[in-house]
């Protein structure tokens, strides 16, 4: 273990990380975001899901530094009288949960399809990749909006909202898997004729074993780079869906639904309900994107140019 | 070239077939054509009778081929809410969306070409760094937030520009179909914020794309040769390098125009823009399945057609693709 | 008597983040009207950089950091770009290595040839087309009228190189710099292109600077030559003299490794080792680690380029 640590510290990867101030700052901000969402119940001043804490008399209070603001609510309250800061932290938690969940699902489907297509080849490859290409030619947001619309009608809005978190993970997962499938397939095609795969086949390893033990690890760089960007995309998709009313309900808001609920009040001057969660979301997505750019530059995998 | 076009169109038809099949499967599963026609106040016995009459108890593929036949004749089902053929509802909403997309496309071309080219030619200048910084920031801002911020700044705070609706429109064809906002001052003012919001999603992408393609082209041997021929820098940059940059950009642009249709759903929601995207969300709220499926098929076709046309145009501009198509 | 082109103590450096890298150092030679000269060396020796330096077209971050280039009695290495453009492609033309990459794929041959003329002459389209056709005939392109509207990919490699040669002839330049003009072509076509170049230089009284790693070609085409090693000229003089009686051990090695001088069954000679990277040029004579006759002085002192007994210039401590 210790050996691993020192090796990591001396690696090019860590070296370029230390040299890049933007990457370092992004990483630490992201870490704070992740810690915040993980420990939301511990650090947020109020529990926004607990109706005892919610008093409609407190609704639309501006941030505490305004005259009408109250020191109890640092960033003010939303239209339902919830402490905005707490609601944002809980909202971030949901956004992160859905983002990571959706990316895990896309990666799972995409890697499965990509590996199978790339390794088996022939007709299987042609069919799978045709499906991926067709879906890929449509914007993922459109696909996600459509699937969620169908789901919402199918389940009825009440039960949709109850199951919103797993449903959104499934929706966003289904909408974006082709990205993985295409990249994985491209790298499998590149790897599969290399000597070490040949050697593995000669010593009699079975196909699945070769794919998972030998080919997959060589595609991990690409997976890592894509995944970073995809988390940002998934969080954005979730926010968009929630903003359209196809995502998280206002009672259990993600950042997107919080922005949506605030938008109605922006004309009356209550800008903070929209703007604070909005800036929160932008900063979160921005640091992931910056880290993703940096990772891509450092690891420089051969990404499928779509 | 001919073989290439035929192959491309066959592909497009195949994709359309798949979309229609998905659309029909959804409709068949969760739609309720009886309700679409007569509403909810009918007895179960009457319903069953109607279902038989409408052929809703036929096997899946019989129904699907009927659906396909109708679709080819322009009948995409009946909107339950509007009590009109779904296609005519969509057609009535289309001009608003098309104008929004056109306006945004115009802004994208106008802004991204000069910025992309400039940042490629002077990558180290302060201005280029600023542009690149903003474009990284830009991809991280969801379109609805851009829209909200534009409304808050220019509509609510400064009160310079109208922040919702289409404003005053002019009937172009005299039959009431295409109400255009392009021809009145008020209509144009109403277009500004939504178009900028919609353009904002694609701008960073295009600036980066044009920049990186251009930088790649500038490194090629044929550009170096153009310098060696003693050509004027403007000719080298704006004719030799630019045309080669444009080829990939045109393809991406076509595809992105399609993608912008997806984002109109968000933009139209924020600006209460009475287009297809706004209609789509209303249809979801009203569970108007037939209208949803019609929307899916219309937007799917727009997509497929745009992609196909772009590919064919690309084949025309790029002589090497044409050769590949010929063999 | 002044020369057509005089390169004096030319130095080119690349300003890299890790420090400056001297790509060519103290390179001097002259070229007279109608004279053909070869610059020979391995890749990385600095011969292409020398060629591009003459027309001041070194890719960034490279720049001419010392010396003079005098063309027609005028110092041109420090000319502003707008002045230099009047010489580039007009008085001094260049032919690139790979004809498949040199022509812009999205413009017709006609466009790419005509624009060269328009850049340097105030000329009507009709007259320009006449010149273009005349030059295309000169390089033996059959039915050139039909070819003008075709795109580069409709031509073979050899044909493209002919078109590029025709392009370089358009303005009747005084000098053509040909950077490995046949390396990317089939062997059979190589000879054709070289013959064509030689024939044109004769008939048009053009000077030729032929940059190549192929000593065989140089010995057939050129009158004089310079051998470059690690950014410097290590031997220069009359081609016939250098080929028959090379002085520098490196040149000797190059000549020995020519397949032409082999008896059947004999193994092809290879100079041991590799040319050093520009960042790690050894002290003393740059060639000393690979030299078969080296002595102590070779790794201590850099040999100057001086006249030897045979009349050629060479940079070697030991040989005379």
**For B268, nearest residue in chain A (alpha carbons):** A244
A245 and B26 within 8 Å at the Cβ level: the answer is no
Q: Is the CB of residue A90 less than 8 Å from the CB of residue A45?
A: no
Best C111, C115, C120, C122 residue to mutate vs chain B (most B CBs within 10 Å): C115
Kindly state whether B121 is in contact with chain C, defined as any CB-CB distance less than 8 angstroms.
no
Residue A216's SS3 state is helix
Overall number of domains in chain B: 1
- Name the interface residues of A facing B (CB cutoff 8 Å): 134, 137-139, 141-142, 145-146, 149-150, 152-154, 232, 236, 239-240, 243-246, 256, 259, 263, 266-267, 269, 271, 274-275, 278, 281-282, 285-286, 289-290, 293
Kindly state whether C155 is in contact with chain B, defined as any CB-CB distance less than 8 angstroms.
no
Kindly state whether B234 is in contact with chain C, defined as any CB-CB distance less than 8 angstroms.
no
> What residues of chain B lie within 8 A of the CB of C53, using their CB?
none
Say if residue C125's pLDDT is above 70: yes
Best B122, B123, B124, B222 residue to mutate vs chain C (most C CBs within 10 Å): B222
Label residue C17 by pLDDT band (50, 70, 90): confident
pLDDT at C187: 83
pLDDT string in tens for chain A (306-residue length): 556 666 666 677 777 777 778 888 888 999 998 888 888 777 777 777 776 666 666 666 777 677 776 777 666 777 777 778 888 888 898 999 999 999 999 999 998 888 888 777 788 888 888 888 778 777 788 888 888 888 888 887 778 788 888 888 998 988 888 888 888 888 787 777 777 777 777 787 777 777 777 777 777 888 888 888 889 989 999 999 998 888 888 788 888 888 888 888 877 777 888 888 889 899 999 999 888 888 887 776 555 433
Distance of CA C57 to the CA centre of its chain: 14
pLDDT at B33: 66
Q: The CATH number of the domain where B309 resides is what? A: 1.10.3720.10
pLDDT at C50: 92
Q: Is residue B285 part of a domain?
A: yes
pLDDT at A45: 74
Q: Strand C224-229 to strand B84-85: parallel, antiparallel, or no bridges (unpaired)?
A: unpaired
Mean pLDDT for chain C overall:
88
Best B148, B197, B198 residue to mutate vs chain A (most A CBs within 10 Å): B148
CA distance A283 to chain B (A): 8
pLDDT at A296: 81
Cα distance between residue C107 and residue B246, in whole Å: 13
pLDDT at C32: 92
**CA neighbor of C152 nearest in space, from C143, C141, C160:** C160
Q: For B264-319, what is each residue's pLDDT tens digit? A: 888 998 888 888 989 998 888 888 888 888 888 888 888 888 888 877 877 776 65
**For C150, nearest residue in chain B (alpha carbons):** B319
Q: Is residue B16 part of a domain?
A: no
Residue B170's SS3 state is strand
- Start-end of H helices in chain A: 2-10, 12-19, 21-38, 40-43, 84-120, 122-136, 140-162, 164-192, 195-202, 207-209, 216-243, 255-263, 272-299
Distance of CA C129 to the CA centre of its chain: 29
* Per CATH, domain A21-37+74-299 is 3.40.50.300: no
pLDDT at C128: 92
Best B143, B145, B164 residue to mutate vs chain A (most A CBs within 10 Å): B145
Candidates B222, B230, B233; nearest CB to C102: B222
Q: Which residue has the higher pLDDT, A43 or C143?
A: C143
Q: Which domain holds residue B288?
A: 86-326
Q: Is residue B187 part of a domain?
A: yes
Label residue B38 by pLDDT band (50, 70, 90): low
Candidates B145, B255, B266; nearest CB to A278: B145
pLDDT at C120: 92
Say if residue B323's pLDDT is above 50: no
Candidates B144, B287, B292; nearest CB to A243: B144
> What residues of chain C lie within 8 A of the CB of B318, using their CB?
105-106
Dihedral of alpha carbons C312, C317, C318, C320, sign? positive
Candidates C59, C94, C104; nearest CB to B222: C104
User: For chain B, how far is it from start to end, CA to CA, in angstroms?
Assistant: 9
Say if residue C36's pLDDT is above 90: yes
Give percent of chain C with pLDDT exceeding 90. Answer: 32
Kindly state whether B218 is in contact with chain A, defined as any CB-CB distance less than 8 angstroms.
no
A282 and B280 within 8 Å at the Cβ level: the answer is no
Label residue C133 by pLDDT band (50, 70, 90): very high
> Which has the minimum average pLDDT: A207-211, B63-67, B139-143, C53-57?
A207-211
Encoded tokens for C142:
């059959």
Neighbour subunits, C (≥3 Cβ pairs < 8 A): B
Element (H, E) at B46: helix B44-54
**For B319, nearest residue in chain C (alpha carbons):** C106
Q: For C153-208, what is each residue's pLDDT tens digit? A: 888 888 899 899 999 989 999 999 999 888 878 888 888 888 888 988 888 889 99
Kindly state whether B17 is in contact with chain C, defined as any CB-CB distance less than 8 angstroms.
no
Q: Which residue has the higher pLDDT, C264 or B209?
A: B209
The DSSP letter of residue A53 is G
Neighbour subunits, B (≥3 Cβ pairs < 8 A): A, C
Element (H, E) at B180: strand B179-180
pLDDT at C211: 93
**What is the number of CB-based contacts under 8 A between chain A and chain B?**
99
- Tell me: cis bond preceding B97? Omega within 30 of 0 counts: no
Say if residue B327's pLDDT is above 50: no
- Per DSSP, the residues of B56-91 read TTS-HHHHHHHHHHHHHTT---EETTTTEEHHHHHH
Say if residue B50's pLDDT is above 50: yes
Best B225, B242, B245, B313 residue to mutate vs chain C (most C CBs within 10 Å): B225
Kindly state whether B30 is in contact with chain A, defined as any CB-CB distance less than 8 angstroms.
yes
Q: For B238-260, what is each residue's pLDDT tens digit? A: 888 988 888 778 778 877 877 78
**What is the number of CB-based contacts under 8 A between chain B and chain C?**
74
One-letter-per-residue 3-state SS of chain C: CCCCEEEEEEEEEEEECCEEEEEEEEEEEEECCCCEEEEECCCCCCHHHHHHHHCCCCCCCEEEEEEEEEECCEECCCCCHHHHHHHECCCEEEECCCHHHHCCCCCCHHHHHHHHHHHHCCCCHHHHHHHHHHHHHHCCCCCHHHHCCCCHHHCCHHHHHHHHHHHHHCCCCCEEEEECCCCCCCHHHHHHHHHHHHHHHHHHCCEEEEEECCHHHHHHHCCEEEEEECCEEEEEEEHHHHHHCCCCHHHHHHHHCCHHHCCCCCCCCCCCCCCCCHHHCCCCCCCHHHCCCCCHHHHCCCCCCEECCCCCEECCCCCC
Candidates B221, B228, B244; nearest CB to C89: B228
* Per CATH, domain C5-243 is 3.40.50.300: yes
Q: Which residue has the higher pLDDT, B161 or C129?
A: C129
B152 and A138 within 8 Å at the Cβ level: the answer is no
Q: For B12-31, what is each residue's pLDDT tens digit? A: 888 888 888 888 888 877 76
Using the CB atoms, write b or e for B78-89: b if 16+ within 10 Å: bbbbbeebbbeb
Q: Is residue B10 part of a domain?
A: no
Say if residue C150's pLDDT is above 50: yes
């Amino acid at each position: 273990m210790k050996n691993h640590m020192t090796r990591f510290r001396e690696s090019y990867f860590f070296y370029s990380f230390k040299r890049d101030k933007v990457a370092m700052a992004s990483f630490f901000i992201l870490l704070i975001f992740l810690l915040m969402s993980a420990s939301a119940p511990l650090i947020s001043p109020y529990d926004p899901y607990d109706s005892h804490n919610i008093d409609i008399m407190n609704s639309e209070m501006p941030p505490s530094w305004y005259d009408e603001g109250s020191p109890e609510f640092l960033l003010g309250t939303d239209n339902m009288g919830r402490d905005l800061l707490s609601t944002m932290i809980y909202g971030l938690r949901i956004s992160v949960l859905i983002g990571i969940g959706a990316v895990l699902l896309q990666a799972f489907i995409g890697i499965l399809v990509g590996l199978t297509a790339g390794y088996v080849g022939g007709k299987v490859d042609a069919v799978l990749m045709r499906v991926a290409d067709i879906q890929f030619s449509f914007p993922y947001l459109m696909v996600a909006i459509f699937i969620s619309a169908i789901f919402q009608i199918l389940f009825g809005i009440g039960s949709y909202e109850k199951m919103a978190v797993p449903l959104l993970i499934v929706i966003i997962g289904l909408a974006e898997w082709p990205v993985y499938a295409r990249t994985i397939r491209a790298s499998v095609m590149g790897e599969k004729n290399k000597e070490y795969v040949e050697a593995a086949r000669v010593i009699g390893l079975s196909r699945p074993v070769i794919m998972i033990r030998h080919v997959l690890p060589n595609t991990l760089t690409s997976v890592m780079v894509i995944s970073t960007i995809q988390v940002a995309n998934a969080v954005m998709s979730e926010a968009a869906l929630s903003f359209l009313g196809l995502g998280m309900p206002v009672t259990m808001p993600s950042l997107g639904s919080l922005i949506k609920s605030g938008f109605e009040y922006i004309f009356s001057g209550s800008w903070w309900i929209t703007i604070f969660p909005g800036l929160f979301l932008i900063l979160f997505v921005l640091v992931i994107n910056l880290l993703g750019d940096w990772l891509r530059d450092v690891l420089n995998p051969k990404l499928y140019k779509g | 070239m001919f073989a290439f076009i035929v192959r491309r169109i066959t592909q497009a038809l195949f994709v359309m077939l798949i979309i229609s099949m998905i659309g029909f499967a959804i409709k068949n599963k969760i739609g309720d054509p009886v309700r679409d026609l007569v509403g909810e106040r009918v007895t179960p016995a009457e319903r069953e009778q109607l279902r038989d009459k409408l052929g809703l108890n036929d096997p899946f593929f019989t129904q699907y081929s009927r659906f396909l036949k109708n679709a080819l004749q322009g009948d995409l089902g009946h909107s339950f809410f509007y009590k009109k053929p779904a296609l005519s509802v969509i057609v009535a909403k289309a001009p608003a969306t098309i104008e929004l997309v056109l306006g945004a496309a115009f802004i994208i071309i106008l802004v991204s070409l000069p910025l992309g080219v400039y940042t490629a030619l002077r990558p180290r200048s302060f201005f280029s760094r600023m542009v690149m910084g903003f474009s990284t920031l830009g991809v991280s801002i969801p379109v609805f937030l851009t829209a909200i911020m534009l409304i808050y700044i220019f509509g609510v705070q400064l009160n310079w520009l109208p922040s919702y609706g289409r404003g005053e429109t002019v009937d172009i064809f005299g039959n009431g179909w295409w109400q255009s906002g392009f021809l009145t001052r008020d209509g144009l003012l109403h277009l500004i914020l939504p178009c900028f919001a919609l353009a904002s999603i694609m701008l960073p992408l295009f600036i980066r794309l044009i920049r990186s393609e251009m930088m790649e082209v500038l490194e090629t041997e044929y550009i170096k040769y153009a310098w060696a021929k003693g050509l004027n820098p403007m000719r080298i940059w704006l004719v030799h390098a630019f045309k080669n940059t444009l080829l990939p950009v045109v393809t991406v642009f076509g595809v992105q125009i399609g993608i912008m249709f997806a984002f109109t759903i968000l933009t139209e929601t924020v600006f209460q823009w009475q287009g297809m995207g706004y209609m789509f969300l209303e249809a979801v709220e009203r569970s108007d399945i037939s209208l949803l499926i019609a929307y899916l098929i219309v937007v799917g076709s727009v997509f497929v057609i745009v992609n196909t046309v772009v590919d064919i145009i690309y084949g025309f501009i790029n002589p090497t693709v044409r050769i590949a198509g010929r063999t | 008597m002044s020369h057509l082109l005089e390169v004096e103590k030319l130095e080119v450096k690349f300003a890299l983040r890790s420090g400056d890298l001297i790509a060519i150092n103290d390179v001097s030679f002259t070229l007279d009207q109608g004279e053909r000269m070869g610059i020979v060396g391995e890749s990385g020796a600095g011969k292409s950089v020398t060629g591009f330096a003459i027309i001041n077209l070194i890719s960034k971050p490279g720049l001419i950091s010392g010396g003079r280039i005098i063309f027609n009695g005028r110092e041109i290495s420090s000319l502003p770009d707008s002045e230099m453009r009047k010489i580039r492609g007009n008085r001094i033309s260049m032919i690139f290595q790979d004809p498949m990459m040199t022509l812009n794929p999205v413009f017709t041959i006609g466009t790419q040839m005509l624009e060269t003329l328009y850049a340097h002459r105030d000329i009507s389209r009709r007259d320009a087309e006449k010149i273009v056709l005349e030059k295309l005939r000169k390089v033996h392109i059959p039915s050139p009228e039909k070819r003008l509207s075709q795109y580069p990919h409709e031509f073979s490699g050899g044909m493209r190189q002919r078109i590029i040669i025709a392009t370089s002839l358009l303005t009747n330049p005084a000098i053509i710099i040909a950077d490995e003009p046949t390396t990317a072509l089939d062997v059979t076509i190589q000879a054709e292109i070289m013959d064509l170049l030689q024939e044109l230089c004769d008939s048009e009284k053009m000077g030729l600077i032929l940059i190549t790693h192929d000593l065989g070609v140089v010995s057939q085409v050129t009158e004089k030559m310079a051998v470059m090693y690690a950014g410097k000229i290590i031997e220069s003089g009359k081609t016939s003299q250098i080929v028959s009686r090379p002085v520098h051990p490196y040149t000797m090695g190059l000549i020995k490794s020519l397949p032409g001088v082999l008896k059947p069954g004999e193994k092809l000679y290879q100079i041991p080792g590799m040319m050093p990277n520009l960042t790690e040029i050894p002290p003393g004579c740059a060639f000393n680690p690979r030299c078969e006759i080296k002595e102590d002085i070779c790794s201590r002192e850099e040999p100057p380029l001086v006249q030897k007994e045979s009349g050629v210039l060479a940079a070697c401590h030991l040989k005379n």
